[in-house]
Amino acid sequence: MFSEPLIRLKEKNLMREIKNRNSPQGSRISIDRKNYINFSSNDYLGLANHPYVLESAQKAIKEFGFGSGASRLLCGGSILHAELEKKTAKFKGTESALIFNSGYSANTGVIPAIADKGSVIFSDELNHASIIDGCRLSKARVVVYKHKNTYQLERLIRKTKARQKIVVTDSVFSMDGDIAPLKDIYELCSSLNSKLLTPNSILLYIDDAHATGVLGNGKGSLAHFGIKPEPWIIQMGTFSKALGSFGAFAAGSKDAIAWIMNNARSFIFSTAPPSCVIAASIAALELIIKDTSLIKKLWLNRGKTVKELTSLGYDIMGSETPIISIKTGDVKRTLKISRHLLNKGIFAPAIRPPTVKEPRIRITVTAAHTAENIERLIKALGSVKP
Ligand SMILES: *Cc1c(COP(=O)(O)O)cnc(C)c1O
């Protein structure tokens, strides 16, 4: 039943493959006993291997055991879960926050919880798959707008009649590494909310997965743009990327979070994340609140890499963040360049359709990379034509 379509996938060079490390994940990794410099991780600050993060997780295992046994509502959570929520809310400048098991489950849980049958969701065409799936699971009508096109968004919002409208966008887009025009989107929603008779009838939902720990001194995209976390804004973010841990959160007003807690099915019907995972997230959060030097190092490394790549003639496809995709032509050529990089000891994945429209090599630079690591990447890319 599956062999025919699998053969077709292979013929189109679109067969995906899992690679298994025999080392920790960091700026260097080992696969099949071969060592590589790793440019594929979202562990932007290298916190996944930070001693304080590891110690905190170990301490929590001793205190709380491993599995959490049930969903939060059935007492699966510990006091650490509550502590992380309190710290997250404070960090984000919101009244309240709620932990989810992953960013995927946050988006597929929160969006259907806040959007009902009478809602219309306006979604950027390049939003993450988990947002798309969250929209599909909701009973709302979904209107897709052109990537970062606030003019079109405004036109669509103005001509749509609905009891409730929700604008949904990634803040940092995960494949191109560009940033949503949040200031414009905020002003648009703000002005419409102040004119409408029903207060707060436009909600703004922001996915800060790649912005948490990266933008706005780690606080995320709203801090980056100097936007106040209004009661009509709901944010999600993950502990799994720059925070080097696992899981995710939604943050917003007390009422919004209480509503989400009572309605998000991925929260209600899923076992709580283990306390040791939560302890690791708390530790990572404490680290970036106390000291922003890793974030500074991340941006220095990002700047250096972009400068070198563009002087080699590479098109960085609009990147504004440590996610740097380079244009590599068709699928065949992209795979060839990815193999060339592997031979040179560089691990940087080829990203192909249907994940993206245009094939590319996606490089993520982190604070854990050394100057020599980056030089090796540039040298390897210098020996192929852009
Ligand atoms: C990674 C990512 C997610 C999913 O987060 P996980 O914790 O890995 O499930 C959601 N949204 C965006 C934009 C992401 O990049």
Q: What is the pLDDT of residue 15?
A: 87
Q: Tell me whether residue 19 is one of the annotated catalytic residues.
A: no
Q: What is the pLDDT of residue 51?
A: 98
State the closest ligand 1 atom to the C-alpha of 174, by its place in the atom list counted from 1.
15
- Alpha-carbon distances of 118 from 115, 140, 285, rounded to whole Å: 8, 6, 38
* Angle between helices 79-92 and 275-290 in degrees, nearest 10: 30
CA of 321 to the centre of ligand 1 (A): 16
CA-wise closest residue to 114 among 127, 128, 126, 98: 98
Q: Examine the pLDDT at 115 and tell me if it is beyond 90.
A: yes
CA-wise closest residue to 362 among 378, 350, 373: 350
Asked whether the beta carbons of 142 and 167 are under 8 A apart, the reply is no
Q: Tell me whether residue 147 is one of the annotated catalytic residues.
A: no
pLDDT bucket at 200, cuts 50 / 70 / 90: low
CA-wise closest residue to 148 among 126, 129, 163: 126
- From edge to edge, which strands make up the β-sheet containing 34-38? 28-31, 34-38, 346-347
pLDDT bucket at 384, cuts 50 / 70 / 90: confident
Mutate to test the pocket of ligand 1, among 240, 245, 249, 267 (most ligand atoms within 8 A of CB): 240
Q: Tell me whether residue 241 is one of the annotated catalytic residues.
A: yes
Asked whether the beta carbons of 364 and 43 are under 8 A apart, the reply is no
Q: What is the pLDDT of residue 196?
A: 61
Q: How many CB atoms lie within 10 A of CB 374?
A: 19
CA of 311 to the centre of ligand 1 (A): 31
Q: What average pLDDT does this structure show over 217-226?
A: 98
Q: Find tokens 């989810």 and name the residue.
A: 100
DSSP strand pairing (96-100 vs 119-124): unpaired
Do the domains 51-290 and 18-47+292-382 match in fold? Answer: no
pLDDT bucket at 194, cuts 50 / 70 / 90: confident
Q: Where are the domains of the chain?
A: 18-47+292-382, 51-290
CA of 135 to the centre of ligand 1 (A): 15
Give yes or no for residue 103 CB within 6 A of ligand 1: yes
Q: What is the pLDDT of residue 239?
A: 98
DSSP strand pairing (323-327 vs 360-364): antiparallel
CA-wise closest residue to 92 among 251, 321, 241: 251
Question: What token pair was written down for 262?
Answer: 């009572």
Question: What token pair was written down for 111?
Answer: 């969006």
CA-wise closest residue to 322 among 288, 295, 346: 295
The CATH number for 51-290, chosen from 3.40.640.10, 3.40.50.2000, 3.40.50.700, 1.10.3720.10, is 3.40.640.10
How far apart, in whole angstroms, are the C-alpha atoms of residue 236 and residue 259?
15
For 347-375, write each residue's pLDDT tens digit.
999 998 888 999 999 999 999 999 999 99
Q: What average pLDDT does this structure show over 46-59?
A: 98
How far apart, in whole angstroms, are the C-alpha atoms of residue 52 and residue 307?
33
Catalytic residue among 81, 92, 128, 241: 241
Question: What token pair was written down for 141?
Answer: 């009508």
Question: What token pair was written down for 365?
Answer: 């630079």
Distance of CA 230 to the CA centre of its chain: 21
pLDDT bucket at 117, cuts 50 / 70 / 90: very high
CA of 288 to the centre of ligand 1 (A): 20
How far apart, in whole angstroms, are the C-alpha atoms of residue 54 and residue 231?
35
Q: What is the pLDDT of residue 255?
A: 97
CA-wise closest residue to 363 among 300, 332, 317, 331: 317
How far apart, in whole angstroms, are the C-alpha atoms of residue 378 and residue 44?
19
Specify the amino acid at residue 309. Answer: L
Q: What is the pLDDT of residue 199?
A: 59
Asked whether the beta carbons of 359 and 328 are under 8 A apart, the reply is yes
Q: Which residues make Cβ contacts (< 8 Å) with residue 375, sequence separation at least 6? A: none
Give yes or no for residue 88 CB within 6 A of ligand 1: no
Mutate to test the pocket of ligand 1, among 127, 130, 214, 325 (most ligand atoms within 8 A of CB): 130
Q: Which residues make Cβ contacts (< 8 Å) with residue 323, sequence separation at least 6? A: 172, 174, 175, 176, 177, 210, 362, 363, 364
State the closest ligand 1 atom to the C-alpha of 103, by its place in the atom list counted from 1.
5
The percent of the chain in helix, strand and coil, each rounded to the nearest 5, is 45, 15, 40
Give yes or no for residue 240 CB within 6 A of ligand 1: yes
Residue nearest (by alpha carbon) to ligand 1 atom 10: 103
Tell which CATH architecture fits domain 18-47+292-382. Alpha-Beta Complex (3.90)
DSSP conformation class of 235? E
For 245-258, write each residue's pLDDT tens digit.
999 999 999 999 99
CA of 49 to the centre of ligand 1 (A): 20
CA of 351 to the centre of ligand 1 (A): 16
Give yes or no for residue 362 CB within 6 A of ligand 1: no
Secondary structure of 283-318 as H, E, C letters: HHHHHHHHCCHHHHHHHHHHHHHHHHHHHCCCCCCC
Q: Examine the pLDDT at 231 and tell me if it is beyond 90.
A: yes
State the closest ligand 1 atom to the C-alpha of 239, by its place in the atom list counted from 1.
7
For 127-182, write each residue's pLDDT tens digit.
999 999 999 999 999 999 999 999 999 999 999 999 899 999 999 999 999 999 99
